[in-house]
Amino acid sequence: MADVNELIENGGQLLTFTAGEEHYGFYILDVSDIIEMPVITAIPTAPPFVRGLMNHRGKAVPVLDLRLRLGMEEAPYDSRSCVIVIEINTMQCGIAVDRVCDVETVTPDNIARSPVDNGSVRGFVIREGKPRISILDPDVLART
């Protein structure tokens, strides 16, 4: 588990992906796996953004839908949809995204810190000629 603040302060590698029209990124050290859409077992009574549980290497790992988590409209999963497994204090959580794009190296000069303290987005990578990337805080995102 790496602190996303490290990335914002010192720069580093970012795993970028999309949900809807937006580009998002996780600090690469927070990511433990990227997998195809698995079989998901729904958890009764859970809110819609909690997709359910997947069997990830013998562990029951919760899967959240990024679109619904961020308040966007639901869209059916397709062949390019996948689950990014992130690790928060040794606890794993899967985040279903539309597609994974790239691993990019960003420097602190590219990053604009978010003024919101406890939001799910901690900062933005803004570069000329490229889409804006919102850096997500895995801890805020995964905690329900």
Partner 1 sequence: MPKFDESMEGMLDTFLFETGELLENLDEILMRAEQAEDISLIEESDIAEIFRTMHTIKGSAAMMGLQNMSALAHAMEDMFYIIREKTYVQTDKSALFDLLYKSSDALKGELEDLTDEDKPLTDFSGLINDIHVLAAYFKGEAEKSGQEDNALPADIFDENEPPDMLTYRLTYSDSCEMPSARAIVLFRKLGAVAEVCRTIPPDMDDDGADGKIKAAGLFIKLVTDDRAAVERVLAAGMNVENFELFTPEMLKAQTSAAPAKQELVIPDGVFLPDDPDSLLTYRVMYSESCAMPSARAMVLLRKLGAFAEVCRTVPADLDADSADDEIAKNGLYIKLITDDTNAVERLLDSGINVESALPVKKPAVPQKPAEPAPQEEKQEVGQAEKKPAEPKKTAAKAPKKEQSLLTVKLEKLDRLLDLVSEIVITESAVTSSPDLRGLETRLDRFNKSSRELKKLTDELQDVVMSLRMVPVSTAFQKMNRVVRDMNNTLKKNATLVFRGEDTEVDKSIVDMLGDPLMHIVRNAVDHGIETPEERLAAGKTNPPTVTLSAGYESNEVVISCKDNGAGMDAAKILAKAKKNGMLTKPESEYTEKEIFNFVVAAGFSTNEQVTQYSGRGVGMDVVKQNIEKVGGKLIVNSVLGKGSSFTIRIPLSLSILDVLSVEVGASSISIPASSIREAFSCKAESLITDPDGNEFVYLRDRCFPLIRLGEKLQIDTDITEPADGICMYCREGQYEAVLLADRIVCDQQVVVKPFSPLLDGLHLKEAGLAGCSILGDGSMTIILDMLSLLGGELGEEAQNG
d(CA 51, CA 125): 29
Residue 141: CB minimum distance to partner 1, A: 10
> Which residue in the block uniquely carries the two structure tokens 């919101």?
116
**Between residues 91 and 101, which has the closer beta carbon with respect to partner 1?**
91
Rule CB under 8 A: which residues touch partner 1?
39, 41-47, 50, 53, 55, 57-62, 88, 91-93, 142-144
**Between residues 44 and 115, which has the closer beta carbon with respect to partner 1?**
44
**Between residues 41 and 105, which has the closer beta carbon with respect to partner 1?**
41
Q: What is the DSSP string of 65-91?
A: EHHHHTT-------TT-EEEEEEETTE
Residue 86: CB minimum distance to partner 1, A: 10
d(CA 93, CA 142): 7
Residue 92: CB minimum distance to partner 1, A: 7
Question: What is the chain's Cα-based Rg?
Answer: 15
d(CA 123, CA 83): 22
Residue 38: CB minimum distance to partner 1, A: 10
**Between residues 1 and 101, which has the closer beta carbon with respect to partner 1?**
1
